[in-house]
């Protein structure tokens, strides 16, 4: 078969790329070795949010009295919670199947390997090999849980995120290694379900990519919920010979041994670039990433790469944006390179975290003279009424020109609020323009306006 475009991988990078290519009139095929939707829909973004929703509902029930309600004998069915999450994931994967049919995209099951001469070799589950031709081949093979040499995953006592979503039994004690989005989301989920959770983080602050004020507030919130947090700490080795697991943790005070039923390794991801033919084609890589230009072209004409396999933020919405930009460039449309400085990041624990742009520290390091504003949700009528007063909105502006340098939020529902800052920064909106844009009351989002007002010395409700 000859195609205009073949996409390797059907995650949020691959399937979105394929659909946009089809919309542009290309004959498209997607090669997928497992489930349509990739890690995000099947083992990442979507099923984790289903788990976290169950945790949120459980928390509400446990604190019903705070809202003047009486609920007796509150309990959870851990197996049913896991089953609901898998059901949501399966439904989303079926939705991608529908989209493939709707857009007349051929889905080819099997393991794809790029070959010279713009060919892709596909090995099916039964061993049958098919060779396909295309004018353009886009690699979107994603990533997997990274394994550390001193923390090998056996899938039972030392696990990655995939196993964390499908444990047959709820662990009584859990150690989470790493406090990025994956680590803290699972820490929050299991803690809410009643598991004794300890987070071990190598850096001085948890969620270390975030603004320091966010990290400190988040640490207070997690500790308040009963999670033990160890920063400036590293797991040196694990012993799985007994009924549980013993982790040797190195801290400034020395080494101590933590005991748990399970250790979750959440120390980052590893790009899926092995054994997919890159060396045969001569596609350049560096430090686990495929090298591409601003339009995702590799060094070999006709071969492209997007998503977690290329440099940049490993986020679903980034992969989708890269794929769309890539095929629009192939189609000859006028496109502008993606602005990686204006990519929102979200963490869906409780409280949620959302951010975009520079942190306060980064802005100062770049030499900006800045204006900083903060507005706590404890002063928000909507947050108080909802029973979610923890957190704040923090904004950072260039004092000279009013450029919105960064926005950092922590609180209930802030992942649904961050887009205001993303769009405003894209449009080069100034602080005064945000301040004079009327925000609805009472809402959580008016905290953005209030934070901007604080930066300019005009805050009303604080």
Q: How far apart are CA 88 and CA 81, in angstroms?
A: 11
* Catalytic (active site) residue 441: yes
Q: Establish whether 339 is an annotated binding residue.
A: no
User: Which of 363, 311, 309 lies closest to 338 in space, CA to CA?
Assistant: 311
49 belongs to an annotated ligand binding site: yes
277 is in an annotated binding site: no
- Integer Cα distance of 371 and 268 in angstroms: 33
Does 345 count as an annotated binding residue? no
Cα(329)–Cα(331) distance, rounded to whole angstroms? 5
Instruction: Please indicate if the annotation marks 181 as binding a ligand.
Output: yes
C-alpha–C-alpha distance, residues 431 and 445, integer Å: 15
Q: Which of 63, 432, 441, 461 is catalytic?
A: 441
Residue 180 annotated as part of some ligand binding site: yes
> Is the bond preceding 169 in cis, omega lying within 30 degrees of 0?
no
Residues 190 and 239: beta-carbon distance below 8 Å: no
Enter the tokens of residue 391.
Answer: 């957190």
153 neighbors 241 (Cβ within 8 angstroms)? no
- Residues near 390 by Cβ (< 8 Å), separated by ≥ 6? 217, 221, 351, 377, 378, 410, 411, 412
308 assigned binding-site residue? yes
> Known binder of ligand: residue 185?
yes
Please indicate if the annotation marks 216 as binding a ligand. no
458 is in an annotated binding site: no
387 annotated as ligand-binding: no
The verdict on whether residue 201 carries a ligand-binding annotation is yes
Residue with tokens 């742009």: 357
Active site residues per annotation: 441
List residues forming the annotated binding site for FAD. Answer: 49, 112, 308
List residues forming the annotated binding site. Answer: 49, 112, 178-185, 201, 268, 308
List residues forming the annotated binding site for NAD(+). Answer: 178-185, 201, 268
């Amino acid at each position: 078969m000859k195609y205009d475009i073949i996409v390797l991988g059907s995650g949020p990078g691959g399937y979105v790329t394929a659909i946009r290519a089809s919309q542009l009139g290309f004959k498209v095929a997607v090669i997928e070795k497992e489930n349509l939707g990739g890690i995000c829909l099947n083992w990442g973004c979507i099923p984790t949010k289903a788990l976290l929703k169950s945790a949120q509902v459980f928390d509400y029930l446990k604190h019903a009295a705070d809202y003047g309600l009486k609920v007796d004998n509150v309990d959870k069915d851990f197996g049913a919670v896991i089953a609901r999450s898998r059901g949501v994931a399966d439904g989303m994967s079926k939705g991608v199947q529908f989209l493939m049919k709707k857009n007349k995209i051929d889905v080819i099951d099997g393991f794809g390997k790029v070959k010279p001469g713009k060919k892709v070799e596909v090995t099916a589950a039964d061993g049958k090999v098919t060779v396909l031709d295309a004018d353009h081949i886009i690699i979107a093979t994603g990533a997997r849980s990274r394994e550390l040499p001193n923390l090998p995953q056996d899938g039972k006592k030392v696990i990655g995120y995939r196993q964390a979503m499908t444990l047959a039994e709820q662990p009584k004690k859990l150690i989470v290694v790493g406090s990025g989005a994956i680590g803290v989301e699972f820490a929050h989920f299991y803690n809410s379900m009643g598991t004794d959770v300890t987070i071990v983080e190598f850096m001085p602050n948890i969620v270390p990519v975030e603004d320091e004020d966010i990290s400190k507030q988040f640490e207070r919130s997690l500790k308040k919920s009963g999670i033990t947090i160890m920063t400036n700490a590293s797991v040196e080795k694990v012993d799985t010979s007994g009924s549980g697991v013993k982790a040797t943790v190195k801290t400034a005070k020395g080494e101590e041994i933590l005991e748990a039923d399970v250790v979750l390794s959440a120390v980052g991801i590893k790009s899926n670039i092995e054994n997919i033919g890159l060396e045969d084609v001569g596609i350049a890589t560096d430090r686990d990433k495929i090298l591409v230009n601003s339009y995702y072209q590799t060094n070999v004409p006709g071969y492209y790469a997007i998503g977690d396999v290329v440099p940049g933020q490993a986020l679903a919405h980034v992969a989708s944006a890269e794929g769309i930009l890539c095929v629009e460039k192939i189609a000859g449309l006028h496109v502008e390179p993606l602005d990686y400085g204006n990519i929102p990041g979200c963490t869906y624990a409780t409280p949620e975290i959302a951010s975009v742009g520079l942190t306060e520290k980064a802005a100062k390091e770049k030499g900006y003279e800045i204006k900083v504003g903060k507005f706590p949700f404890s002063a928000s009528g909507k947050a108080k009424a909802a029973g979610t007063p923890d957190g704040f909105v923090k904004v950072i502006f260039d004092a000279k020109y009013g450029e919105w340098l960064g926005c950092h939020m922590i609180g209930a529902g802030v992942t649904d609020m961050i887009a205001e800052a993303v769009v405003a920064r894209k449009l080069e909106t100034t602080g005064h323009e945000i301040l004079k844009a009327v925000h609805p009351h009472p809402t959580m989002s008016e905290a953005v306006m209030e934070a901007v007002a604080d930066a300019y010395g005009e805050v009303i409700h604080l």
